[in-house]
Structure 1
Amino acid sequence: MVRPPLEEHTEPRTTASTLNWLRAGVLGANDGIISTAGLVIGVAAATTDRTAIITAGLAGLAAGAMSMAVGEYVSVSTQRDSERALLDLERHELAQMPEEELAELAGIYRAKGLSPELAQQVAVELTEHDALGAHAEAELGIDPQELTNPWHAAWASFIAFTLGALLPLVAIAAVSSQWRVPVTAASVLLALVLTGWISATLGHSPRARAVWRNVLGGFTAMAVTYAIGALVGTQL
């Protein structure tokens, strides 16, 4: 009688985790698109030298991808360390105070609306099946078997940023000097429409608002860097 709830909770947790990864990938690509587009458009406003523009874009791509990867690795590692510490504490409490922990678990299920008798039965059977897993999920919201891997997070961020950054870099390198900025800006804005729509769809939020916000932010970034590049180009 108790096992079905465990199975029912597995799928939503897995689905939520997958959606979080997808959203993180879309946001990483979005960051790569905007930051690299701003960089290459700013340089293009200052010079028509294709080599200088591509070099700056490649440098920005490498620096941005590494920064994203390192930041994600550090962040997820810190979270993983905290989760492991909490799990170690829970193991200690289960070993030293099993009755108190059982009463605490039953209390959690009573607070969720189960009758005292059913809450006690659920707590007992879950504890017999997997005491640490039951307490970690109910008390901490942690699945001991699915702690996030910091290397996976780092590589995902690195790849997502790189793929996003390649779009403005290829666009600005593929056309002649007089069309570089408008073609790159147009391709970037179209890509931002797509990433805004995808992120809103994954997050079940209003699509139009997310797309508009994404496009406005990207346009502002490109406009500012273009103005700075043009100003610097006239002064040097």
Structure 2
Amino acid sequence: MRLDKLLSNKAFGSRKEVHQLIKDGRVLVNGVKATKKDYSISLKTDIITVDGVRVSTEQQYYIKFHKPAGYVTAVEDPVHPVVMDLLPLEFKKMGVFPVGRLDKDTEGLLLLTNDGVWGHSIINGHKHVPKVYDLTYTGTLSDEGIQRIREGILLGDGTQCKPAQIEVFDSNQARITIQEGKYHQVKRMIGAAGGEVTYLKRLSVGPITLDGVEKPGQFTKIDTVEIDGFRK
């Protein structure tokens, strides 16, 4: 890969700005000042630094992010703020995208990657990946409605949901586990059972939880074991 392309992808600036970094002698390759913007580097073996700070040559990204409410799950949106606004510009430049979606007013665990095959393995309904949510609701969930959720509720528009686990607590709170990602699914399921969701938070996707990203806005890399767990 060309040196200037790597640095641009890693959000060190536009190509023009990166060329100036190199011209100013601020970029080293294996401890030696780079002199050519089109210098060919090895992502596996070369060590690149800018102002003494090592540049990651990582090309594939697997991120878990605690999405705050108020952000659209998208890379870009002409009207609303998006989750990518809260993440390093490097991610967007490297083609990182959200895996699945959370509603604008929903918070909690969101996975992101630039590995399309891996991302699809998570949202593929045939994989039966459990997704756990905590919620608060108004109204009353009927016993019959709760049972329908557990058996696979049929929504008013004819959408058939798979059986889900639901545990109802005091103070109009509940925890639900689904294995799909249909449009507004949890809200619609609760609505069909007699309630209205006022707060929704995703706690986990498969084995990946909010551990390490407990506060909204935090993000971290997903470890190798968790990444590989979705490849099976």
Q: TM-score, normalised by structure 2?
A: 0.21
Higher helix share: 1
Higher strand share: 2
Tell me which structure has the larger Cα radius of gyration.
1
Q: Which has the higher contact order (CA 8 A, sep 6+)?
A: 1
Q: TM-score, normalised by structure 1?
A: 0.21
